[in-house]
Structures are given as structure tokens and as C-alpha cells.
């Protein structure tokens, strides 16, 4: 199980289940914090994700009960998610776990990320949704229908009576989301990459791209490092000039020609650059924002030299990156355009003629400045707040047509503490500026709110 809690406290959980004879079986969970090694001694965020591992009475229970005590009367029911099945018996060689979508409106970069990973070898892309433009979700649902993308709800945590957990976990829960995705894909994935939509593994020389190139890169490095449970890649900021677009343009008029204007990426340097992670799914139990966490069976994290392979960071604000190493994206563009033309006639045929609103990046300006300011504090080691967009405010108000995940939670009062469980999530209309609404408590066993 995975949960978030106050990292300044120790936590105790018990799993209550039934064995094959119907007898009650109780086991105390072994609990580990998912990023104990990286930030355990320098906590900026006061809440953190944890993994709780316990023994249950039957092999495949549909549900268990969880409590901070051994009392059944103070427990709450937790449904066990059934393993994903897509009818393919073989394991997927490369799966991509994306960071959750928060106020996401840039469907152009989204398409670039999806199509690039697919062309270079990924066969499944998992995307958690908190809030996104209606256009974005419409496109994603067609990929989901085709079995290419898996959409997962990622609603806000409910606001408690004395604290708001959403502002107390790093980057609004990106690490918790990555760990959630890791355990979701473990039964059917070999290699898993954890990244953002604008962060892509591409060969050092993009003119050398070919189908399955990323699988070949990862397998080659793993063969060279048989003790590796995870690979840590640096990322290079890459020039990106998004196309000038008309409002209400049609999807069938979209292509990746704008990427031909991408001619620069930053050089590899001795100074440590931001990182991305790829793992052997069977060898790790947790993933951090830019590192791996808990390894199994003595496997270790291997840092990949930047000159051997690295991620391309193609962000909307990198128009002016015009120094470093010159690159030629034409071969990649030609291949992506051919693949997308086929996609428009198959997977996206139903929506190819639909009118799409302009991709919106201008409303991110204040968020960009806010996160940059927090990052500067981190570099000075004088930090006033947890690095999460929750503390940032956009002064630009826009009425965008957006969809959001909204959660329903149940709580139980247990030995002076509370255990809170997500019982349902659904899509609903987002609030102004594409912000997800707060989740709600729909059931509880106590007269005080948690």
C-alpha cells in the first residue's frame, strides 16, 4: 500500500484480512518512506509518501481493512486494484510513467511527447490527470481507446481541518504519483521511464533516430551494468519554438514541422544537471522526483554519463536557448510526421476535423517565476517553503474549458488518529484557470473532521 503522512511522525498501520477459511488475519505493516535517503535529513516538505507492506490472509483479496490499531471497529475498507490486463501475454519492454497533469493546456507539446516515445519504442504511456484542457483530454481519450495511453485519476487530497496536504508534499505529489505508477505497471512492464511530457529520451544525435531506439539505448546500458536496478540520466535544455497557430484550428492540420526550428541544445557539463530516471520494474520499489529510492535485492542506481545518453528537455519557455551544441531534428520530424499522418487516419480519425483551441502557455508565466524563485532558495539552502505550485498564484485569470479529477474520500477515527481512503474519483468541470476543485469527504465515522 501507498499513503502520505506527516514525515515528522512515525506511523503504524495494521492490515486486517480474511484467510481462505474465513478467519480474520491481522498483520502489522512494515513502513518505509519513499524518499528516505534523498531528503530524510533535510526536510523541506513536512508531508511525504510512504510504502506499507503487510501480509494478508489470502493470495488475491478483493479488499482488506486498514487501521492504526488491531481493532476491526476502528478500521476502514480498502479495495485492492485488480492488475491491469490488455490481452497481450508478453511483458511490455518499455513503459512511460508521466508526471500528473496539473492545469495542463498545451496539447502540442503533449502530442510531441506521446508520438516521440511511441516512435522510439514505448508501447504504453500512463498519464495521471488532475486538471487539463478539454481539448487535451479529448485527444488523450482517443489514444486511450486505442490501448496506447492509460489515463489515471489523480485528484487533490482533501483539505483537513488544520492542514492542507496538497501544499505539504513535494511538487504536488509527483513522487507519490511516480510510485503509484510503478506499482501499477510492475506486473506487466520490464523497463519503466519516469518523466514529464516535455522531457524525452532521444539519441545524442537526433539524425540517428530509428524505431525502438530508446529500447536499444536502455538495454545496452543495462548489459554494461548488470547490477543496475535503475539508470539516472541527465537532461539537456533544448530550444523549442512552438508553431504560430490559429484559434480553433483542426487537429488534421497539425504536424511536427515546428521542430525543424529546434537547432540548439545545452552542452554536457561537469556541473550536475537535472535528472530523469529509468528502472527495471522488478528491481525497485520507489522513485523520487529526479532519482530512484528503494532498490530490491542489492541492485543499485547507476548514473549514465551525459555524453553516453541524456534526455531532451523541450519546454515552452526555451525559445531563446541558442547556444551549446547544434542539432538537426529533420530526420526525427520526418518520422514523427509520417507516424502522425497514419494516426490521423486511424486512432485520431474520429476527432481529426474537430476545432481545437490554441495551446495556452501564457498563463504559466507566474508559475514559472514562482518555481524559479523557490529553486533559487533551494540552491542557497535557505528555504522558506515546500517546492510545490500550490504556493504559487497566477495573476492572469482565464476562462478555459477544462476538466479535472475530483475525489471522494472516507475516513475512520482510529486511536486518536485518522485513516483517510479514496473511495471514488470522477471527471468534473475545473475551476477558473484550469484549477482542480478540492476533493470531498463523503463518509466518516466520527463527529470531528480529520
pLDDT at 41: 47
Residues 207 and 58 in one domain: no
Angle, CA 188 vertex, CA 182 and CA 191 arms, to 5° = 60
80 vs 62: CA distance, rounded Å? 5
pLDDT at 415: 86
In 159-299, the DSSP E strands lie at 189-195, 199-201, 228-237, 249-250, 264-265, 275-280
Q: Is position 315 within any domain?
A: yes
Q: Is position 383 within any domain?
A: no
Residues 68 and 105 in one domain: no
pLDDT at 360: 60
437, 442, 445, 448: CA torsion to nearest 10: 40
Spell out the residues 6+ positions from residue 373 whose beta carbon is closer than 8 angstroms to its own.
none
Closest CA to 155 of 445, 444, 441: 441
95 vs 281: CA distance, rounded Å? 10
385 vs 45: CA distance, rounded Å? 7
Residues 283 and 330 in one domain: yes
Among 54, 79, 104, the domain-final residue is 79
Residues 45 and 136 in one domain: no
342: number of Cβ within 10 Å: 11
- Residue 175: CATH number of its domain: 3.90.550
Closest CA to 191 of 75, 129, 284: 284
pLDDT at 427: 97
pLDDT at 117: 98
Residues 39 and 153 in one domain: no
**Helices and strands (H, E) in the chain, number of each type:** 7, 24
79: number of Cβ within 10 Å: 12
Q: What is the pLDDT along the chain (450 residues), one digit of tens a residue?
A: 999 998 888 899 999 999 989 999 999 999 988 876 555 545 667 888 999 999 999 888 999 999 999 999 999 999 999 889 887 778 999 999 999 998 888 899 999 999 999 999 999 999 999 999 999 999 999 999 999 999 999 999 999 998 889 888 877 788 899 999 999 999 999 999 999 999 999 999 999 999 999 999 999 999 999 999 999 999 998 999 888 766 558 899 999 999 999 999 999 887 667 789 999 999 998 887 677 778 888 999 999 999 999 999 997 666 777 778 999 999 999 999 999 999 999 999 999 998 887 766 565 677 777 777 766 766 665 555 566 666 677 776 667 789 999 999 999 998 889 999 999 999 999 998 888 999 999 999 999 999
Q: What is the Rg, in whole angstroms, of the alpha carbon atoms belonging to the chain?
A: 22
Q: Is position 85 within any domain?
A: no
Q: Is position 424 within any domain?
A: no
Which ranges of 77-212 would DSSP assign to H, the alpha helix? 107-119, 134-145, 174-185
In the structure grid, which three cell numbers stand for residue 415, read together? Answer: 486511536
Closest CA to 178 of 284, 60, 97, 299: 97
Task: Tell me how far CA of residue 287 lies from CA of 40, 80, 381, in angstroms.
Answer: 14, 21, 23
Domain region containing 143: 92-359
Residues 69 and 162 in one domain: no
pLDDT at 104: 85
Contact 249, 108 (CB under 8 A): no
Q: Is position 53 within any domain?
A: yes
Q: Is position 432 within any domain?
A: no
- In the chain, the number of structural domains is 2
Among 58, 79, 100, the domain-final residue is 79
Among 359, 379, 401, the domain-final residue is 359
Residues 114 and 29 in one domain: no
pLDDT at 290: 74
Residues 75 and 97 in one domain: no
Residues 223 and 349 in one domain: yes
Name residue 312's beta-bridge partners: 200, 236
Task: Tell me how far CA of residue 5 lies from CA of 50, 82, 290, in angstroms.
Answer: 7, 25, 21
Task: Tell me how far CA of residue 96 lies from CA of 184, 213, 350, in angstroms.
Answer: 12, 15, 25
107 vs 328: CA distance, rounded Å? 24
E strand or H helix at 218, and its extent? helix 213-224
Closest CA to 246 of 128, 89, 392, 355: 355
Residues 65 and 199 in one domain: no
Closest CA to 261 of 205, 332, 204, 343: 332
E strand or H helix at 7, and its extent? none
Contact 107, 401 (CB under 8 A): no
In the structure grid, which three cell numbers stand for residue 433, read together? Answer: 484557470
Q: Is position 208 within any domain?
A: yes
Name residue 405's beta-bridge partners: 427
Residues 63 and 109 in one domain: no
Name residue 104's beta-bridge partners: 132
Residues 267 and 327 in one domain: yes
In the structure grid, which three cell numbers stand for residue 270, read together? Answer: 561537469
231 vs 37: CA distance, rounded Å? 17
pLDDT at 364: 63
Q: Is position 293 within any domain?
A: yes
Say what the pTM is.
0.93
Contact 392, 366 (CB under 8 A): yes
Amino acid at each position: 500500500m501507498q499513503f502520505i503522512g506527516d514525515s515528522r511522525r512515525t506511523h503504524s498501520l495494521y492490515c486486517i484480512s480474511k484467510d481462505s477459511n474465513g478467519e480474520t488475519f491481522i498483520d502489522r505493516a512494515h513502513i518505509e518512506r519513499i524518499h528516505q535517503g534523498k531528503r530524510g535529513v533535510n526536510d523541506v516538505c513536512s508531508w511525504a509518501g510512504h510504502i506499507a507492506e503487510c501480509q494478508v490472509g489470502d493470495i488475491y483479496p478483493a479488499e482488506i481493512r486498514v487501521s492504526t490499531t488491531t481493532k476491526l471497529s476502528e478500521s476502514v475498507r480498502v479495495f485492492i486494484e485488480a492488475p491491469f490486463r490488455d490481452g497481450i501475454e508478453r511483458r511490455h519492454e518499455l513503459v512511460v510513467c508521466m508526471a500528473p497533469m496539473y492545469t495542463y493546456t498545451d496539447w502540442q507539446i503533449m502530442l510531441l511527447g506521446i508520438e516521440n516515445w511511441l516512435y522510439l519504442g514505448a508501447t504504453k504511456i500512463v498519464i495521471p490527470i488532475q486538471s487539463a484542457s478539454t481539448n487535451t483530454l479529448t485527444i488523450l481519450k482517443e489514444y486511450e481507446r486505442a490501448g496506447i495511453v492509460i489515463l489515471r485519476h489523480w485528484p487533490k487530497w482533501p483539505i483537513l481541518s488544520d492542514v492542507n496536504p496538497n501544499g505539504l508534499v513535494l511538487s504536488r505529489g509527483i513522487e507519490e504519483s511516480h510510485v503509484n505508477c510503478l506499482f501499477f505497471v510492475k506486473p506487466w512492464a520490464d523497463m519503466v521511464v519516469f518523466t514529464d511530457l516535455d522531457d524525452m529520451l532521444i539519441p545524442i544525435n537526433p539524425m540517428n533516430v530509428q524505431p525502438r531506439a530508446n529500447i536499444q539505448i536502455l538495454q545496452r546500458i543495462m548489459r554494461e551494468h548488470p547490477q543496475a536496478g535503475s539508470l539516472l540520466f541527465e537532461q539537456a535544455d533544448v530550444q523549442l519554438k512552438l508553431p504560430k497557430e490559429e484559434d480553433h484550428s483542426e487537429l488534421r492540420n497539425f504536424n511536427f514541422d515546428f521542430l525543424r526550428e529546434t537547432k540548439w541544445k545545452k552542452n554536457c557539463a561537469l556541473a550536475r544537471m537535472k535528472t530523469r530516471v529509468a528502472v527495471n520494474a522488478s528491481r525497485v520499489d520507489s522513485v523520487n522526483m529526479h532519482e530512484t529510492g528503494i532498490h530490491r535485492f542489492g541492485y543499485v542506481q547507476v548514473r549514465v554519463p551525459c555524453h553516453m545518453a541524456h534526455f531532451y528537455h523541450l519546454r515552452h519557455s526555451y525559445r531563446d536557448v541558442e547556444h551549446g551544441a547544434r542539432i538537426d531534428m529533420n530526420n526525427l520530424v520526418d518520422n514523427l510526421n509520417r507516424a502522425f499522418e497514419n494516426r490521423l487516419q486511424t486512432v485520431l480519425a474520429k476527432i481529426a476535423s474537430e476545432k481545437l483551441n490554441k495551446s495556452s502557455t501564457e498563463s504559466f508565466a507566474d508559475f514559472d517565476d514562482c518555481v524559479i524563485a523557490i529553486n533559487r532558495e533551494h540552491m542557497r539552502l535557505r528555504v522558506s517553503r515546500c517546492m510545490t505550485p500550490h504556493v504559487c498564484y497566477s495573476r492572469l485569470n482565464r476562462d478555459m474549458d477544462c476538466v479535472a479529477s475530483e475525489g471522494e474520500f472516507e475516513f475512520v477515527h482510529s486511536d486518536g488518529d485518522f485513516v483517510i481512503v479514496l473511495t471514488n474519483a470522477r471527471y468534473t468541470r475545473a475551476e477558473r484557470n484550469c484549477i482542480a476543485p478540492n476533493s470531498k469527504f463523503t463518509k466518516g465515522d466520527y463527529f470531528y473532521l480529520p
